[in-house]
């Protein structure tokens, strides 16, 4: 066994990424304070060939040095849009056949391991690092999922949450080869 070199990883070029068929999954980042979290979301979206990222509210937008530091160029490959208010965006996505899935801790939320994505088009909402997802967005959601946690914090960094949820959904959608 040997470590692979970058040229052995069969990475797509930015142009190949843009032309590639995307996984019908979009991220909605609403009022994310940390530009490093935004950059990490771009990098994860690139890694899993996601359709798009929507940046809403106070969420920072590329180009920005702090976003680029963690995105490592993914802001050039991943399609994104900015919306001042997430509400009209979410309503529009619902009207266009997206199943709205909010990641938040709520009463009677669905544990991630029990969530079965029955829809082909998913929109995942992630909210502010301190206050979480806004109540009005929770009410618009088709389902709320929660990542079970067992320690004292019951709180994960948003970039970690994004990675966990996307990987789980990719596996459940049977998009992992091997």
List pLDDT tens digits, range 14-66: 999 999 999 999 999 999 999 999 999 999 999 999 999 999 999 999 999 99
Is residue 28 within 8 Å of 90, Cβ to Cβ?
yes
* Positive or negative torsion for Cα 141, 146, 147, 151: positive
Whole-angstrom Cα distance, residue 117 to residue 25?
Answer: 11
Whole-angstrom Cα distance, residue 72 to residue 38?
Answer: 12
Q: What is the pLDDT of residue 177?
A: 64
For residue 178, name the pLDDT band (cuts at 50, 70, 90).
low
What is the residue-wise DSSP string for 23-73?
EEEEEEEES---HHHHHHHHHHHHHTTEEEEEEETT---SS-HHHHHHHTT
The residue-averaged pLDDT of 3-24 equals 93
In this predicted model, what pLDDT tens digit does every residue of 109-161 receive, in sequence order?
999 999 999 888 999 999 999 999 999 999 999 999 999 999 998 889 999 99
Q: What is the pLDDT of residue 120?
A: 82
Q: How far is CA 10 from CA 13, 15, 16, 24, 62, in A?
A: 9, 14, 11, 22, 26
Q: What is the pLDDT of residue 149?
A: 94
Parse the chain into domains and list their residue ranges. Answer: 17-172
Specify the CATH architecture of the domain 17-172: 3-Layer(aba) Sandwich (3.40)
């Amino acid at each position: 066994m040997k470590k692979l070199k970058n040229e052995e990883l069969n990475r797509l070029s930015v142009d190949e990424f843009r032309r590639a068929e995307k996984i019908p999954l979009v991220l909605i980042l609403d009022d994310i304070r940390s530009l490093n979290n935004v950059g990490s979301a771009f990098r994860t979206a690139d890694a899993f060939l996601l359709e798009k990222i929507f940046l809403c509210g106070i969420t920072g937008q590329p180009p920005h040095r702090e976003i680029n530091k963690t995105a490592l160029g993914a802001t050039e490959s991943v399609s994104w849009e900015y919306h001042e208010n997430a509400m009209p965006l979410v309503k529009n996505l619902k009207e266009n056949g997206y199943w709205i899935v909010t990641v938040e801790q709520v009463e009677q939320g669905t544990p991630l391991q029990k969530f079965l994505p029955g829809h082909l088009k998913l929109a995942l909402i992630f909210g502010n690092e301190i206050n979480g997802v806004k109540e009005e967005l929770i009410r618009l959601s088709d389902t709320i999922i929660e990542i079970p946690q067992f320690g004292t914090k019951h709180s994960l960094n948003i970039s970690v949450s994004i990675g966990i949820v996307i990987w789980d959904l990719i596996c459940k959608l049977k998009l992992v080869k091997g």
